[in-house]
A and B are shown apart, each in its own frame.
Chain A
């Protein structure tokens, strides 16, 4: 059984793509599509890695990240941020809020895979 990756992303097709890529590499993948109740889902699932979209219905990804970093239980959780806006300002915000890695859409599959491996190993 591989390590657990939680994907919080509202685009079902993107979730399907990430799930496929990671599962094929031996990861255990679960997903959630809403921002408003994401914190509870994260706490319950206690994943080894979180893939977090920025534009989520109900609550912004940055908001969720800030709360995660504020909570000692999740302060060290590796978080890979995904955003479709791709402006440098977004990258700066993600880094400021403590994202472990930042990727803009569209991404390459190998890059996602490499990032996930790196973040969980370190």
Chain B
């Protein structure tokens, strides 16, 4: 027999060892040297908190009572990890993108960040998990009792060790508070706790395997002998009941996801989504190993131990009975590990829920948002108090029920309780139509049915529910009997409760969701959850800018702490290209801030706190449209990707072309400026030279002086004209010209142009050949501008036509509202190489009669014709210079008053 004090010492030593490991790991984590910590192996081991003391001790008891049925508890999770791996991945992905802190937070976040939903789930979890924690305390007390027991005639007399339980509860509270509430951001993860439970996972597995190996090869004669003993011990209770098997497997499968502690390690503590891939085979392997020796220990226990021993303690009793004290001690530590790790993580998970969904919202309600002070200490203290409260509840439950119930039954009651979150959780993941009314209704209905049909009756008749009520139903109504609702007798109360609670829960959830409309925020969140793998954008739940960045920073500092909050704000500001600590309050920034805060206080509280500063969240019509369109968008996504890469190539090409165009334009602009410089400097040269001559040479003959002054005057006029032309051209090119629409006929117009152009080279006599009848066309256009073009063309002919007997043919045609006028002279025409150039600015072909124009005339003509909806072109091969002017006879627009005299004078000057 192991001395009880030695056992206590070993136990204390083990606890100190765990504290030390957790402490060292936290230290390393603070220095960011934790790469090995976030390995898939650690993740898988931490998942093993699924195997509690119930698994460790209870599975053997279960096997003794019901044969292989205990396998269902492992079968469910195995099926989930192997077959529903993608669902877990979705859960983890959502948990990361939304910075979820607990299962209550997850469900609350999905259903419009409704705190009411969070409160319901929290209450449900507290109700369900408290007995479960009591179960762990009981198992630790029992195992202590085994060692303290005194052998007597009737076997072992177990002393009442209620005091042990309170010490255990206190120790666990200290550990959990120390390592579970060091930091605020749940997303920062509890490395110390995780590593401690990983160590405990190894200890409990090794312990059970050691006992198993001892039993199979040390006590029995190997596997064959074990098999023979199993057959010999088979009892009628071991019969496989298909209904119960299916129900329990389903229940265990649900539990692996919905139990708060499982959600904590599976989703919240997950460091890398890829770890799930390893866990999908390694965790089932762990379950297989830990269940491998359950049956052998059970049958060997039945064979060698006296009748009437508690089968839940066979793991300890078998080695003790055979004098294997060290093995018994190891088994004890294994069971101790299993119990403590479960309690620690469950307490953290429940405390997070309680503080985020109940304590902090209440505090904000009472004190108002303006209350100053560090929110962090409030939240952390709330969590510490919650941990104490959870463990107190567990202890009280243990004392009240007296630990009379068999261990396994208490575990299953908790399973059914947490299973009530399943419809809401699955709806969150897969059903966009699910809404908070449905989720709330389902949860409440499920909670009530579970309490009434399973939880309250579990205390036994006349403890909480009277025996009469159990027999006759509520208010004596037969079909309200807790264990036979609607008169349907399902022999097994557990299956009865599971069936009715989940059926009514799902029914209420679906009806509620179908009959009511989700809020805009729910729609957005729904799309975020259901399409988490397809949507990369943020929630876009905020509208721009009502909130002051400074107020937000003050608030964030209270929750995240000054350094952390300032770092976050500074990084955000830098990302926006701003210096300092105050980024613009863009919707994206608010969204990221909300998620950051959600990691500390939960999504509902974070949303409420930001809403108080920013002034309410706005889900815009565009956001909703985006949500509505997402399904279609996803279908088009791949084709869009292709189109996008094509579009990119096209854009690159366009950019290249635009760049070339800009370079060409730049060259043209340089050339144009250079030409303007030339055209301005030339007249100025004469003006300066002659003005200096006039000034210096006093002895100038009067006729010379007057001639030189005339030159100065001419050149000054030339300069002025040049500037006028440039202005005219720029106005025409920019399309800002004011057209003066008038009524006239083509004949009048040509008459005017001929008269005006006659002043150019008046010494030359031109023969004009025209068809007066054809020219009888009514015009409604800018007659002045059109005359300017005609005059320019005619003046050019008078200047440059090099025929001895110059003549000008004017042909007129009209077709379809377009008038075409050809001006053809009998000179040598324009050389082919110059034909393309003549309409360009400063494209003066000859240098005779420079004073006539600056080489802008035809460029201006071209711009005028564009403005009149027509064009001017050079027609080669007409036996001389031939210009074709075509334009619509009627230009749409109002008739305006005014004269064309300015234009005429200008045209004569420009010609050239």
Contact: B689 with A21, CB < 8 Å?
yes
List the A side residues contacting B685 at CB < 8 Å. Answer: 11, 14, 17, 84, 105-107
Q: What's the least CB distance linking A2 to chain B, in Å?
A: 18
Interface size class, chain B: 20 to 34
Instruction: Decide: A108 and B688 in contact? CB cutoff 8 A.
Output: yes
**Residues on A with beta carbons closer than 8 Å to the beta carbon of B696:** 109
Could you tell me if B677 and A17 are in contact, using CB atoms closer than 8 angstroms?
Answer: no
Chain A, residue nearest B689 (CB)? A17
B interface footprint on A68-106 (CB within 8 Å = 1, 0 otherwise): 000000000000000011110000000000000000111
- CB distance A85 to B677 under 8 Å? yes
B residues within 8 A CB of A12?
850
In the bound complex, residues from chain B placing their C-beta under 8 Å from that of A33 are 847
Q: How far is the CB of A90 from chain B (nearest CB, A)?
A: 9
Contact A86 B684 (CB under 8 A): no
Q: Is the CB of A109 within 8 A of B674?
A: no
A48 lies within 8 A of chain B by Cβ: no
Residues of A within 8 A of B714 (CB): 13
> Closest Cβ of chain A: how far from B687's Cβ, in Å?
7
- Pick from A16, A24, A104, A109: contact of B681, CB under 8 Å: A104
List of A residues within 8 angstroms of B679 by Cβ: 84
Q: Let me know if A84 and B681 touch, CB within 8 A.
A: yes
Q: How far, in Å, is A43 (CB) from chain B's closest CB? A: 23
CB of B575 within 8 A of chain A? no
**Min CB gap B676→A, angstroms:** 10
Contact B693 A10 (CB under 8 A): no
Closest to B695 in A: A109
B residues near A109, Cβ cutoff 8 Å: 689, 692-693, 696
Q: Does B846 contact A (CB under 8 A)?
A: yes
Residues of B within 8 A of A21 (CB): 689, 693
Contact, CB under 8 Å: B692 / A108:
yes
A18 at the interface (CB under 8 A from B): yes
State whether A17 touches B693 (Cβ < 8 A).
yes
Q: Let me know if B697 is at the binding interface, CB within 8 A.
A: yes
Interface string of B669-701 (1 = CB under 8 A from A): 000001001110110111111101100110000
CB within 8 Å of B: which A11-42 residues? 11-14, 16-18, 20-21, 24, 33
Q: Which of B692, B714, B846 has the most CB of A within 10 A?
A: B692
Partner of A17, one of B678, B681, B690, B846: B690
Task: Using A13-B711, A18-B689, A107-B688 as known contacts, say yes or no to A84 and B682 having CB atoms under 8 A apart.
Answer: yes
Q: Are A14 and B681 in contact (CB under 8 A)?
A: no
Question: Is the Cβ of B678 less than 8 Å from the Cβ of A106?
Answer: no
Candidate in B686, B689, B690, B696 with the most chain A CB atoms within 10 angstroms? B689
Query: What are the 3 tightest A-B residue pairs by CB atom distance, in nearest-first order?
Result: A17-B689, A13-B686, A57-B847
Which B residues form the contact surface with A (CB < 8 A)?
674, 677-679, 681-682, 684-690, 692-693, 696-697, 711, 714-715, 846-847, 850
24 CB < 8 A contacts A-B: A13-B686, A13-B711, A13-B714, A13-B715, A14-B682, A14-B685, A16-B711, A17-B690, A21-B689, A24-B697, A55-B678, A57-B846, A85-B674, A85-B681, A86-B681, A87-B677, A104-B681, A105-B681, A106-B681, A106-B687, A107-B688, A107-B689, A108-B692, A109-B689
A-to-B contact residues, CB < 8 Å? 10-14, 16-18, 20-21, 24, 33, 55, 57, 84-87, 104-110
